[in-house]
Structure 1
Amino acid sequence: MLIGIDLGTTNSAVALWHEGEARLVPNSLGALLTPSAVSVLQDGTTLVGAAAFERMAAKDGAAATSFKRLLGTDRKVRLGRKEFSAEDLSALVLQSLCADVEAHTGERPTEAVITVPAYFNDRQRKATRRAGELAGLSVRRLINEPTAAALAFGLKDKAEREPFLVFDLGGGTFDVSIVEMFEGIVEVRASAGDNRLGGDDFNGALAMAVKGRLDPDERLATLGEARAQALLLQAAERTRRALTDAPEAEFAVTAGDERLSTTVTASEFEAQAEGLLRRLRDPVVRALRDSQIDAASLSEIVLVGGATRMPLVRKAITRLFGRFPNASVHPDHAVALGAAIQGGLIARDGGLEEIRITDVCPFTLGIETAEHSVRGTIQQGLFSPIIERNTPVPVSRSGVYSTMGDGQKQIAVHIYQGEAREVSGNVKLGTLSVPVPSRPAGEVSIDVRFSYDSSGLLEVDVEVPLTGTRHNLVIIDEEDRKAAKDLDARRKALAALKHHPREEAANQLLLARAERCYEEFLGDVRAVIGGRTLSFTTALDSQDPRRIADAAAELAELLDMLEANPVL
């Protein structure tokens, strides 16, 4: 079975192409979105999704979120007694989504199309692919998130469309793509983005804005830095969502036995987020410039990603383009639905056989070179582009280079990805050593050809015309080599983690909610929460389904009432 997955920074979703349409698959709690969160309890139990997210600020809870931002790096996250890479944590989320599909259809998925930010570099894309493999999936294709959203938007009526812009602001990343649809072709004209800009950053800005007046006596410091920060960010997320529909909202956390609260206005939030809003402009300008399309020529501005719900973001977009954006697609669902459509295309579904997608190379690809300066010195470490960013793929381009030293016997072709003039500011992808005849400087040249396809595969061919020799390299970085050796071992390690059965996921979520509410309230209300929680845990220990259901209903009813009336 082939599925489409939106592996998000904040939330993830999975969808199927079935009977001529893309459909989202609900998780075990009935929700269409699964928080991209992993938690490890004191007994080693691993939770994924809503229950893990609720435990982020718990005293004894080790939880991780936003680890998508760490993909492609060596950074580890410690949860309990174990250290996890971003790939491991992402694989756990993917496994949870696969389990949801199996529970929904009775069949375990084996293949997937996984979405990635358009501006993910080569290492980040390969790390995403490895996470899918760790989860037991054959990753048929990685598709850029705005491209997937454009598919979902464009296939509603299959009408031809003049170039439109997909504005995708999610929990942790920001992407812009300019797309055109004609004669069954979905053509991406240009993409740009910022991998460090999303709803999480707006939460951080909001938390920073209120921390001083919320906690002048620094009571949160007694909780420890990590837990205090988690509490602030959770409160910021709730407040940010409330400000979507109201001019002001309460920002509240509980420190020990005291509830701290303050009021935040929408105008105050907008002022604090001004720097983040300015950062939205640069990728838009870059994509327009690269596509050679004027903003006035765009037919529509299509909003994707949960963070585009913020009124301050929509206001900024309206000011930027001088018109209101199109919010007709579901901001949280479009990317996963588009991934499922891509899966249908791969499976050659009859209803999609006339549709073809063309995408672009998101980063410039080239090699390291050296140049003679006007003073006669040699400046090394310079970047020479071969395939420019936003070139339609598949593509093949070549460049000619020559030796710079007398008697030079070898040329090291260092391959990079990025936009910086100096290679130190770009991402190194690999090296190919090419023997050359020993001749005076400049007399021996090489032809370097880059071939790049829609799956992100880069092949480098180098020819020495003087000798007729050819050398070839398919880019595989050191992480890929290590992954090939230890993939099975890592799969077994993930499989050995202690999980609660799927049917207990709702119980774990309810317990996590109860713990959070217990920390937020004081006095008699806290005592009532504690009593109801104890009744529920006692019922769980009894393993009597009827007793568990009754206790769960009573506890849920109490929590619903308290969350609806937080001032009690």
Structure 2
Amino acid sequence: MTTENIICGIDLGTTNSLITVWQDGKAHIIANSLGNHLTPSAVSLDDNDTIIVGQAAKERLTVHPDRTAINFKRLMGTNKEIKLGKRAFRAEELSAFVIRSLLQDAESYLGHKVTEAIITVPAYFNDAQRKATKVAGELAGIRVERLLNEPTAAAMAYGLHQQKNESRYLIFDLGGGTFDVSILEMFDGVMEVHASAGDNQLGGTDFTSVLAQHVLQQIDLKELDLNQKMLPPEFLQYLQIQAEKAKREICQSGSCELTIVWRDRSTRLQVTEETFEKVVEPLLDRLVLPIKTALRDAKLRVSDIDDIVLVGGATRMPCIKKLATRLFQRFPATGVDPDEVVAMGAGIQAGLKLRDAMLDDLVLTDVCPYTLGIEVAYGDSQKGGYFSPIIERNNYIPVSRVDRFSTISNFQKSIEINIYQGESPSVSDNIFLGKMDIKVPKAEAGQEQVDVRFTYDINGILEVIVTVVSTRESHQLIIEGNPGVLTQAEIAERLKALEAIKIHPRELQENLVLINRAERLYREHLGHARQQIGNLLANFNAVLDSQDPKAIIAARKQMTDILDQFEGDFTF
């Protein structure tokens, strides 16, 4: 495999991930080994301690929930670990497995090794989350050329950067795990982001979870021989999957007759679109606040917006389209597949980075979506805990700001600089990013001062430089105290550990997906259907043992057709 200057665009999503490449004057989404554009952001560990990624891992959720992880994007930038069997992984490491799988698909398609990538992130990701995303790319073996905000990528995919007339757009981005709102203006080849707001803990999975909770409250658990106080994890995961299916069926047909099967028992429940909208109403209310915040920060009214663009698979829900239509008194734009639009934008950005002749020059401006500052003490009590902003939210980036602060005690030896992100006057309600201990000469209170400079770059990475005014000594921020950020030594150590872990071969994914899918359907069905699936699985394993390529291909097609019948008309 030769090496060329290739930069891929990666949409590292909560639910699904995609990879694109700029070729022949446009962005191409690269299909995975199963021929699909979407690769589920799921990772599982089999009994041989081999990592499984994507659809094959997702199929193991109900069968092996203790060995399978999803939704780990929400833990990016934290020190929380997810246990798979006896192993424990950080979110960056699980994300690295997904990125590595995408890269394998890209390299198989291109015939070249990929060494650089642009990765999209929610606009409202904080400093630690953005650094964790770059680390995930590094652990996967690539250099992350740039982090691109998802709403900005979506705007590029819609071709808004090619608009000749001055226009304002609101990007409504509801993905599997995050919600972002960005207001952009296009003029004279400039794409200017005026404001961004969002909620990193609100997405399509929350709508699924609320529906699953509703189902749990409505069904008679005694019919399933289950105790409300001791529900097995396997059942809860199964219920989540069934709720996801029901949600999608409701979106397509307006109602769903949900059948819950557990071991040798089953129960049914009818769920209508009206019922679904009622149970998710609190989540719909949460979507409104970031929209209002973005409009207020941009100093715009609803009537000033020329178009609304829906992004993210969760915007397929009719209740989301109704909400956007009601708020803006017009139908939103939905011309590009909401699951693919962010990845397409990342591919276009890769083309711009490569300075492709078929792309017009674009000046892209963005904003810092949150306020950054430090903890200070006020008043005679010298009590700390107060937040002093240095860079306020929705400043254009790159941006650099400096503020001067003084000592508060006589003969103070050092100043502790605690860095936070947030909008509350109290640091306890904001997000801690890191700290620095700066030594200062002993002097009377207020005599010694430090200049604290924050610099926020186009990748959303924060640099802090503290200079002691009297000595001119400067100190650059190294966030070693932040549990959400790995040090370079820790990255090297974890990279070495990941390289030793076996990953299931890409070329065997088709077989693995079928086996895991059959095991899931076996659990979901009863009686003759269960027996038929069991026989089918046994026969398929026997053909695999024969290692006859032609027989395996024929058996795989036959098994796929039969499993499709068991799945019904809906494929997820």
Q: With structure 1 as the length reference, what TM-score do the two structures score?
A: 0.94
Deviation at 1:75, TM superposition (A): 1.4
Counterparts of residues 447-466 of structure 1 (less than 5 Å): 447-465=451-469
Q: 2:475 aligns with which of 472, 476, 479?
A: 472
1:228-259 deviations in Å (ceiling 9; x for gaps): 11111100110111111212112223200223
Distance 1:60 1:346 in 2: 41
Q: Which residue of 1 aligns with 2:199?
A: 194
Deviates more, 1:282-291 or 1:552-561: 552-561
> Could you say if the C-alpha distance between residues 399 and 499 of structure 1 is closer, same or farther in structure 2, counting changes exceeding 3 Å?
closer
Q: 1:521 aligns with which of 497, 512, 525?
A: 525
Structure 2 letter corresponding to 1:306: G
Distance 2:401 2:65 in 1: 55
1:541 matched to 2:548? The reply is: no
Deviates more, 1:167-176 or 1:57-66: 57-66
Is the Cα–Cα contact under 8 Å of residues 434 and 471 in structure 1 kept in the other structure? Answer: no
SS at match of 1:267: helix
SS at match of 2:22: strand
Distance 2:505 2:404 in 1: 60
Distance 1:390 1:481 in 2: 24
Distance 2:31 2:42 in 1: 17
1:442 matched to 2:446? The reply is: yes
1:79 matched to 2:84? The reply is: yes
SS at match of 2:334: coil
Q: 1:282 aligns with which of 281, 289, 305?
A: 289
Q: Which residue of 2 aligns with 1:350?
A: 357
Deviation at 1:414, TM superposition (A): 2.3
Distance 1:62 1:344 in 2: 38
SS at match of 1:238: helix
Deviation at 1:480, TM superposition (A): 8.5
Deviation at 1:224, TM superposition (A): 5.2
> Could you say if the C-alpha distance between residues 411 and 35 of structure 1 is closer, same or farther in structure 2, counting changes exceeding 3 Å?
same
Is the Cα–Cα contact under 8 Å of residues 419 and 426 in structure 1 kept in the other structure? Answer: yes
Q: Which residue of 2 aligns with 1:337?
A: 344
> Could you say if the C-alpha distance between residues 448 and 84 of structure 1 is closer, same or farther in structure 2, counting changes exceeding 3 Å?
closer
Is the Cα–Cα contact under 8 Å of residues 78 and 484 in structure 2 kept in the other structure? Answer: no
Is the Cα–Cα contact under 8 Å of residues 259 and 520 in structure 1 kept in the other structure? Answer: no
1:307 matched to 2:308? The reply is: no
Percent identical among aligned pairs is 48
Q: Which residue of 1 aligns with 2:534?
A: 530
Distance 1:48 1:409 in 2: 52
Structure 2 letter corresponding to 1:515: E
1:360 matched to 2:364? The reply is: no
Q: 1:69 aligns with which of 69, 74, 79?
A: 74
> Could you say if the C-alpha distance between residues 391 and 82 of structure 1 is closer, same or farther in structure 2, counting changes exceeding 3 Å?
same
> Could you say if the C-alpha distance between residues 284 and 75 of structure 1 is closer, same or farther in structure 2, counting changes exceeding 3 Å?
same
1:189-247 deviations in Å (ceiling 9; x for gaps): 11111011111000011111111333431637479531111111100110111111212
Q: Which residue of 2 aligns with 1:118?
A: 123
Q: 2:177 aligns with which of 163, 166, 172?
A: 172
Deviation at 1:456, TM superposition (A): 2.5
Q: 1:212 aligns with which of 203, 206, 217?
A: 217
Is the Cα–Cα contact under 8 Å of residues 134 and 487 in structure 1 kept in the other structure? Answer: yes
Deviates more, 1:481-490 or 1:453-462: 481-490
Distance 1:250 1:314 in 2: 23
Deviates more, 1:549-558 or 1:153-162: 153-162
1:406 matched to 2:416? The reply is: no
Q: Which residue of 2 aligns with 1:557?
A: 561
Deviation at 1:7, TM superposition (A): 0.4
Unaligned residue ranges in structure 2 (runs of 5+): 1-5
Distance 1:369 1:486 in 2: 31
> Could you say if the C-alpha distance between residues 355 and 80 of structure 1 is closer, same or farther in structure 2, counting changes exceeding 3 Å?
same
1:420-477 deviations in Å (ceiling 9; x for gaps): 2122222333333444444433344333222221122333333444x35141314544
Structure 2 letter corresponding to 1:85: R
Deviates more, 1:329-338 or 1:73-82: 73-82
Distance 1:142 1:241 in 2: 31
SS at match of 2:358: helix
Is the Cα–Cα contact under 8 Å of residues 166 and 301 in structure 1 kept in the other structure? Answer: yes
Counterparts of residues 388-403 of structure 1 (less than 5 Å): 388-403=392-407
Q: Which residue of 1 aligns with 2:488?
A: 484
Is the Cα–Cα contact under 8 Å of residues 66 and 83 in structure 2 kept in the other structure? Answer: no
> Could you say if the C-alpha distance between residues 256 and 25 of structure 1 is closer, same or farther in structure 2, counting changes exceeding 3 Å?
same
Distance 1:336 1:168 in 2: 13
> Could you say if the C-alpha distance between residues 118 and 60 of structure 1 is closer, same or farther in structure 2, counting changes exceeding 3 Å?
closer
Distance 1:155 1:271 in 2: 35
SS at match of 1:315: helix
Is the Cα–Cα contact under 8 Å of residues 6 and 13 in structure 1 kept in the other structure? Answer: yes
Structure 2 letter corresponding to 1:503: E
SS at match of 2:194: strand
Deviation at 1:16, TM superposition (A): 0.6
1:378 matched to 2:382? The reply is: yes
1:258 matched to 2:298? The reply is: no
Structure 2 letter corresponding to 1:427: I
Measured on the aligned residues, the alpha-carbon RMSD in Å equals: 2.0
Q: Which residue of 2 aligns with 1:6?
A: 11
1:317-373 deviations in Å (ceiling 9; x for gaps): 21222222111121011111111122222222223351121111122111111110x
Q: Which residue of 1 aligns with 2:3?
A: none
Deviates more, 1:501-510 or 1:2-11: 501-510
Q: Which residue of 2 aligns with 1:26?
A: 31
Q: Which residue of 2 aligns with 1:225?
A: 232
SS at match of 2:181: strand
1:502-551 deviations in Å (ceiling 9; x for gaps): 22101111112211221222211222111121111100010001111121
Unaligned residue ranges in structure 1 (runs of 5+): none
Deviation at 1:82, TM superposition (A): 1.1
Count of aligned pairs between the two proteins: 562
Q: With structure 2 as the length reference, what TM-score do the two structures score?
A: 0.94
> Could you say if the C-alpha distance between residues 361 and 40 of structure 1 is closer, same or farther in structure 2, counting changes exceeding 3 Å?
same
Distance 2:85 2:35 in 1: 29
Deviates more, 1:211-220 or 1:45-54: 211-220
Deviation at 1:59, TM superposition (A): 5.0
Distance 1:51 1:380 in 2: 51
